[in-house]
Amino acid sequence: MRFNTILSFLATAGLAASTPLSPILQAANIVNIANVIPNQWIVVMKDISDSSFQSFLASRDASIISSTKAIHNIGTFKAFSGTFSQTLVNLLLSKAEVAYIEADVKVSINALSTQSTARPWGLGRISHRKKGSTDFVYESSAGVGTYSYVIDTGVLTTHVEFEGRATFGVNLAGDGLNTDGNGHGTHVAGTIGSRAYGVAKKTNIIDVKVLDSKGAGALSNVILGIEWAVKDMESNSRKGKALANLSIGTAYSQATNDAVKAAVGRGLFIAVAAGNNGGDAALYSPGSEATACTVGASDANDVKAAYSNYGTVVDIFAPGSQIMSTWIRSNTDSYTQSGTSMSTPHIVGLAACLISLEGAKAPGPLCERMKTLSTKDVLTGGSGASVNYLAYNGNGA
């Protein structure tokens, strides 16, 4: 299915039928044509050294250099992105160092309908084995000493619920607005670590803005955001206590998955939304990346949300329907949203709490720890083969 999609897209894009395609390019998925940004491409390198990557960059044709928008280097993931003509794409495909080339696409947030009021049930659910409680039982350490990167639409860092623990990191959305003009990122951050609505009430929140006020942006900017978080983690010696939230989705993207995998390999725990398509999460990114902690959504009745993606790539479920959190109309505002965007920050917050309670953990074992703690076999509904694990913080209630 993916192979045919690629060939179809390449024909539509006008690449010559005689162009030799590398096996990796053929295996990578060029995503939904409707979301493609015309003539923008992500060129992903083979697993080469930093020095070889720098040599390749320096030796590029002048027209390629002038058309390059960004250079990406996250450990094993090395790439560059920009606006390249068909001629330049063909030239790059001929280079032995190039693994594959993927179309740059528009990505979007994974939130659904909004409501003005709802019962704040999510925190109670993850701190009790049985449904129905709205009381949140948690350890007082509550994520102290951890750092949660929110790669999203921005964060209203001045919101009173963040108590000064939220800081602006970087704006890669290109809109010049160093705050949240959409609300999605602030909502996510609030579920991770706000005073009233947060799981980890003492974590530090870092705003990594990659999407604009419409909740959309280029995939290449999301990759830049992942890279920025990794480098900030490393430069500040936060490995083992740094987490990232990606409540962002697109159709299957090898470049996205490879970037996430490389970041996890550097020690950054990343929780990703399974997606709101009601389908197999293996068809979407970054939810399909095995090294990330992929999160599905449930409701207050312990039913897997009909919108939530499912499948064997989903690691765990968390509350996602009608979740109240911080909002952007004022520094005291709150709002309710639904989606796997809302379930994912529950997991980032829970991961932060476990680190502060049990010590620094590598990303893989941290996700496994949450799966071990989870409440088993209480969820109903849903389609396909998925785990029946509901997030639980282990506090005995």
Where helices occur in 94-218 by DSSP H, the ranges are 122-126, 184-193
Alpha carbon 276 to chain centroid, angstroms: 14
Residue 102: the pLDDT is 95
72 is catalytic: no
The CATH code belonging to domain 2-105 is 3.30.70.80
Note if the pTM is more than 0.85: yes
Q: Which amino acid is present at 231? A: K
DSSP 378: -
Candidates 104, 152, 207, 299; catalytic one: 152
Give backbone dihedrals phi and psi of 181, rounded to 5 degrees, phi first: -95, 5
The verdict on whether 152 is a catalytic residue reads: yes
CA angle 151, 152, 156 (to 5 degrees): 105
Is the bond leading into 319 cis (omega within 30 degrees of zero)? Answer: no
Residue among 184, 187, 299, 308 flagged as catalytic: 184
At position 253, the amino acid (one-letter code) is S
Classify residue 116 by its DSSP letter: S
8 Å CB contact between 122 and 228: no
| Mean pLDDT per 10-residue segment, the chain (397 residues) | 27 29 30 71 95 93 92 97 94 93 89 56 95 91 97 98 99 95 98 97 98 94 98 98 97 96 99 96 97 98 96 98 96 96 98 97 98 97 86 87
How much is the CA Rg of the chain, to the nearest whole Å?
20
Domain ranges of the chain: 2-105, 110-390
Residue type, 290: A
Place of tokens 């250079």: 71
Q: Which of 220, 325, 338, 341 is catalytic?
A: 341
Examine the residue annotation and report whether 299 is marked as an active-site residue of this protein. no
Q: Which CATH architecture has domain 110-390?
A: 3-Layer(aba) Sandwich (3.40)
